[in-house]
């Protein structure tokens, strides 16, 4: 495939996915200009990672739910509940910080089993089950906390979302070399995985982009990754929460693209009847989808309570809408069967950059909500346009 043909393929057949990356670059550039470079300053980029990581964690699980044709409205309440349980164990009962983490994870799994049972076994639509869960788990949060806030967490727990890994370990003249090394290894690993994927497609005589375009894409990704690493290295180093988020992204990218479970999720969302006739155990897959969402909601609850250094009855309010918006902006389809973990991450970053950029510009909170709503609406409209265009082309 020639470079011109490959570019045409990227910008037409894969418009939903390629368009979101272009939009992300444009939005970052726009806000970088409007904030006189403050958006991309080392300290501000670090703050974006720390402040919005829990939304990206939720979006990682939410995109799987949406691909399967479901929705989860309860994740914000589960974030609050798991954070509350962790606070009770650590702050009120005086347990070690890791005991609070384990308790929160256990609660998240129980919540996932509960909702998975009603959706997969009983057959109640996920919208209804999770809407009930939103009310149920918020009420349980109020009862667990006795309608009061608990703080502060010990330093070990606070480091989950506010700590930095081995800062200064390898030295550096005003920057953290360890952060640069970690990101360099990640960039090399990405290049190697992409090369393996390309070779595999060639072996099966599938179409691939031209080699110069392939190299250009790898170089551009590596340049962006290392530029981001340089900014972090010139601030406080490598955030622990970024390691957690990176591990989740890699794990769930593999799960959704390389495993039988991932293929079954796409099959259920793409065509439920065909999936059933093909032997996909729909109930089992749907059950584990919600168990997984409960687990990731618990991780987000741990990160959020660590970041806020306490548990509040109103914690996690509207988080579910931010996570859902990140998925749809990132290319997930409203009817299921389409979406990627990486797309959801980019969608979440777009929301984060817009929120942070508008805050730096002093934009009123009400205007920020209006802008976010319009962006979400345009993203869904773009999805509908793509489907109609594909249908007309047949």
CB-based contact 127:71 (threshold 8 Å): yes
Cis peptide before 152 (omega within 30 of 0): yes
Tokens of 328: 């749809």
Residues in the chain: 394
- Kindly state the average pLDDT of the residues 366-375: 89
pLDDT at 169: 67
In terms of Cβ atoms closer than 10 Å to its own Cβ (0-12, 13-18, 19+), residue 102 is: middle
Helices and strands per DSSP (H, E), number in the chain? 16, 2
Residues 6+ apart with CB under 8 A from 254: none
With a cut of 70, say whether residue 381 has pLDDT above it: yes
Q: Strand pairing of 238-239 and 164-165?
A: antiparallel
pLDDT, one tens digit per residue, over 191-235 is 999 999 899 888 888 888 888 888 998 999 999 999 999 999 998
Tokens of 267: 């099959």
Tokens of 57: 């964690």
Query: How far is residue 71's CA from residue 64's CA, in Å, rounded to a whole number?
Result: 9
Tokens of 311: 């548990």
Query: How far is residue 394's CA from residue 358's CA, in Å, rounded to a whole number?
Result: 42
- Kindly state the average pLDDT of the residues 102-123: 97
pLDDT at 113: 97
Q: Rounded to two decimals, what is the model's pTM?
A: 0.92
- Backbone angles phi and psi of 208, in degrees to 5: -135, 165
Higher pLDDT: 332 or 1? It is: 332
Query: How far is residue 382's CA from residue 371's CA, in Å, rounded to a whole number?
Result: 16
Query: How far is residue 190's CA from residue 220's CA, in Å, rounded to a whole number?
Result: 12
With a cut of 90, say whether residue 375 has pLDDT above it: no
Does residue 37 come out as left (phi exceeding 0), alpha (psi in the -120 to 50 range) or beta? Answer: left
CB-based contact 164:238 (threshold 8 Å): yes
When mean pLDDT is compared over 80-84, 354-358, 377-381, the highest value belongs to: 80-84
- Kindly state the average pLDDT of the residues 236-265: 94
Instruction: Please tell me what DSSP assigns to residue 154.
Output: P
Lowest mean pLDDT among 8-17, 20-29, 82-91, 324-333: 8-17
pLDDT at 5: 57
With a cut of 70, say whether residue 391 has pLDDT above it: no
CB-based contact 170:178 (threshold 8 Å): yes
With a cut of 70, say whether residue 296 has pLDDT above it: yes
Helix pair 341-360, 15-34: axis angle to 10 deg: 20
Q: Could you tell me which CATH number the domain at 15-166+237-365+382-393 has?
A: 1.10.3470
Domain extent listing, the chain: 15-166+237-365+382-393, 168-235
Q: Which helix (H) or strand (E) holds 155?
A: helix 155-162
Query: How far is residue 11's CA from residue 8's CA, in Å, rounded to a whole number?
Result: 5
Please state, in angstroms and as integers, the Cα–Cα distance from residue 264 to each residue in 282, 283, 286, 327, 339, following that order.
Answer: 8, 11, 10, 19, 14
Higher pLDDT: 5 or 354? It is: 354
Query: How far is residue 70's CA from residue 336's CA, in Å, rounded to a whole number?
Result: 8
Q: Smallest Cα–Cα separation from 27: which of 333, 343, 358?
A: 358
Buried b (16+ CB within 10 A) or exposed e, 13-22: eebbbbbbee
Sequential DSSP letters for 298-364: HHHHHHHHHHHTSB-TTTTTTHHHHHHHHHHHTT--TTSS---HHHHHHHHHHHHHHHHHHHHTT--
With a cut of 80, say whether residue 277 has pLDDT above it: yes
């Amino acid at each position: 495939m020639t470079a011109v043909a490959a570019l045409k393929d990227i910008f037409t057949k894969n418009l939903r996915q390629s368009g979101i990356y272009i939009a992300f670059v444009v939005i970052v550039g726009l806000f970088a200009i409007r904030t006189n470079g403050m958006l991309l300053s080392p300290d501000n980029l670090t703050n974006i990672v720390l402040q919005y990581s829990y939304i990206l964690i939720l979006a990682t699980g939410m995109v799987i739910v949406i691909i399967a044709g479901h929705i989860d409205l309860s994740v914000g309440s589960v974030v609050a509940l798991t954070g509350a349980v962790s606070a009770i164990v650590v702050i009120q009962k005086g347990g070690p910080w890791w005991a609070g983490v384990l308790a929160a994870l256990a609660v998240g799994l129980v919540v996932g089993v509960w909702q998975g049972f009603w959706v997969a076994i009983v057959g109640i639509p996920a919208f209804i089950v999770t809407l009930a869960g939103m009310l149920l788990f918020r009420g349980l949060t109020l009862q667990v906390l006795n309608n009061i806030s608990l703080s502060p967490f010990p330093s070990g727990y606070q480091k989950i979302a506010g700590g930095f890994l081995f800062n200064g370990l390898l030295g550096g003249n005003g920057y953290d070399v360890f952060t640069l090394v970690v990101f360099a290894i990640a960039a090399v690993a990405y290049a190697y995985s992409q090369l393996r994927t390309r070779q595999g497609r060639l072996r099966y005589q599938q179409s691939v982009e031209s080699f110069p375009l392939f190299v250009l894409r790898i170089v551009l990704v590596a340049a962006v990754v290392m530029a981001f690493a340089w900014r972090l290295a010139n601030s406080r180093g490598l955030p622990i929460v970024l390691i957690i988020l990176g591990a989740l992204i890699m794990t769930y990218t593999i799960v959704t693209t390389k495993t039988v479970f991932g293929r079954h999720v796409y099959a259920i969302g793409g065509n439920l009847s065909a999936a059933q006739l093909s032997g996909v155990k729909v109930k089992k897959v749907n059950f584990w989808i919600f168990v997984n969402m409960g687990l990731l909601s618990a991780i987000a609850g741990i990160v959020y309570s660590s970041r806020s250094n306490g548990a509040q009855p109103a914690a996690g309010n509207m988080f579910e809408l931010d996570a859902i918006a990140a998925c749809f902006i990132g290319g997930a389809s409203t009817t299921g069967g389409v979406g990627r973990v990486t797309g959801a991450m980019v969608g979440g970053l777009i929301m984060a950059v817009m929120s942070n950029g508008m805050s730096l510009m002093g934009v009123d909170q009400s205007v920020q909500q209006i802008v976010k709503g319009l962006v979400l609406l345009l993203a869904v409209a773009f999805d509908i346009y793509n489907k109609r265009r594909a249908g007309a082309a047949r």
